[in-house]
Copies of this chain bind each other. A is one copy, B any other.
C-alpha cells in the first residue's frame, strides 16, 4: 500500500496475501479505529494509509488490534483454586511479564517506515539478481 498511489481494495489485498476480502476488512477495521488507515466505499473506493509511517510502530499496531496474547504456553487459569497451579503461576508470571515487556519494547522501536525500507532493499536485491 505504501508503494502505490490511490486506494487499494480489500479484494486486491486479499489476493496479495492469499486470503479472503472479508478477513482483510476485519483486520483493517482495527487499523482504521486506530486512525492508521481510511476506507472509502463505492467506485474507486478502498483502503488508504492515513498516518505517517515514520511515527507508527509495531507496538501501536499490536495495541490497536486488541493486544492479542503473546504467549502460547502457560496460565490455563489465572485464578485457580489449586495451590499447585497457583504456585506455578506465581513463578511463571514474572518471567512472562519480563519477556513480554522486552518484546513490546522491541516492537516499539520498529516503525512501519523501517519495514518499507527493509522491503525496498529486498526488492532491489531481487531485481539485481534478475539482471544477471
Contact = CB atoms under 8 A, between A and B. Distances in A.
Contacts of A99: 99-100, 102-103, 106
B96 A103 contact: yes
Interface stretch (A29-37, A40-48, A68-76): A68-76
A33 to B, nearest CB: 19
A100 to B, nearest CB: 7
A32 to B, nearest CB: 20
B115 A106 contact: no
Given A70-B72, A83-B122, A96-B103, 17 more contacts: A58-B92, A68-B73, A69-B73, A72-B72, A83-B119, A83-B123, A87-B118, A87-B119, A88-B115, A90-B118, A91-B110, A91-B114, A95-B110, A99-B100, A99-B102, A99-B103, A102-B102
